Copies of this chain bind each other. A is one copy, B any other.
Amino acid sequence: MGAKSITIKDIARELNISTSTVSRALRDSSEIGAETKKRVLELAHRLDYNPNPVALSLLNSQSNDIGVIVPEIANPFFAIVIAGIEDVAFAQGYHVVIYQSHEDYEREVLNVKHIYNRRKDGLLVSIATTTTDYSHFKHIHDRGFPIVFFDRICEEIDTHKVSVDDFDGAYTATEHLINQGCERIAHVSGPDHLLISRRRLHGYRAALLDYGKPISDDWVVASAYSPDSALEATRVLLARADRPDGIFASSDNIAIGCHAAITEAGLSMPNEIALIGFSDLPMAALMNPPLSSVAQPAFEMGRSAAELLINLIRNPGEHTTSISNVLKTKLIARKSSLRLIE
């Protein structure tokens, strides 16, 4: 198993002093003689002593780790959020441990257990699409474990949350399609039970209503947040007699599927049909035609969530009201929807 790592005991023996003295010297306690302190520090350095974090963790029931659960790290949106989280956490001396639920409820439950049992100091989470029961979160939240939700938040639990203004972003996207002259605007939505899906759907409906455009359930098709699923859904949409001339997709991943279906059907973007997504992932600009989208401040979302969590960790018990930080989105118009020169 390899050479044993050295402990304060080794240092104590070598120096003929007690382990507590070594411990105190290492932590630069004021009640240790300058001379002793120096000798300890020197030997520790020479021996390349490293405190055993596991022992610390057992002692304090804390780890300086914060757990993050996302559906998929392969999704660039989440990768960027994580970068934001790490940015703050690292600066505050926390290490970020990443977990993937793979959109699977069972896996999410396992991850939560792992995080709780391993004495992580807190949890940042964006819930899986298959999750409809929140008792695993409730369970640890009731025991005082710090949780902050981001993006795919859970309304049922009273704690801090960070999200974007999905309604507003969706409204703006739909409005944009209307401004470009679209008359029959469809929506490929995300899974129903996800709050972000519903909010985006509502924003879409509200814009149509405000502008007196036709609204119909036939124009709204549900899809998972994946290109494959969206491809299928869009095919159905395009096969209709009253084919839409504009599509607002609930995410860029969905928009990729729409994009493929439109290309496959031989329709021209944006003239025969205009398309806009949500998130503005890096690849949006690389598509052909480049995909319009609603940009989300992913990095900022990660930063904010991490800040709120660390606050919760450091000031436990302070039963102030839970904060819901709602970030602004930004419309990015590209060729997939730009019919007019603005």
Name A56-99 residues within 8 Å CB distance of B. Answer: 57-58, 61, 63, 72-74, 76, 79-80, 82-83, 86, 95, 97-98
* A144 and B54 contacting across the interface, CB-CB below 8 Å: no
Is the pair A58, B55 in contact by a Cβ cutoff of 8 Å? yes
A33 neighbours in B (Cβ, 8 Å): none
A79 to B80, CA, bound (A): 13
Contact in complex: A98, B73 (CB < 8 Å) = yes
Q: Which residues of B contact A114 (CB under 8 A)?
A: 95
Q: Does A187 contact B (CB under 8 A)?
A: no
* Stretch from A16-24, A123-131, A214-222, A283-291 at the B interface: A283-291
Flag if B61 contacts A58 (CB, 8 Å): no
A114 and B50 alpha carbons, distance in the complex (Å) = 10
Q: How many residues of A contact B (CB 8 A)?
A: 43
Q: Which residues of A218-262 have CB atoms within 8 Å of chain B's CB atoms?
A: 256, 259
**Residues from chain B with Cβ under 8 Å of A287 in the complex:** 286-288
Least CB distance from A279 to B in Å reads: 14
The reply to whether B286 and A52 form a contact with Cβ atoms under 8 Å apart is no
Contact B256 A118 (CB under 8 A): no
Query: Which of these, B2, B73, B97, B145, contacts A145 with CB under 8 Å?
Result: B2
Residues of B near A74 (CB, < 8 A) are 73, 76, 79-80, 83
Given contacts A76-B74, A100-B86, A143-B2, contact A54 B286 (CB under 8 A): no
Contact A118 B53 (CB under 8 A): yes
Residues on the B chain within 8 Å of A72, using CB = 79
Within 8 A of B (CB), among A290-317: 316
- Nearest first, the 9 closest Cβ-Cβ pairs linking A and B are A288-B288, A2-B144, A74-B79, A2-B143, A98-B98, A73-B73, A3-B143, A54-B57, A54-B58
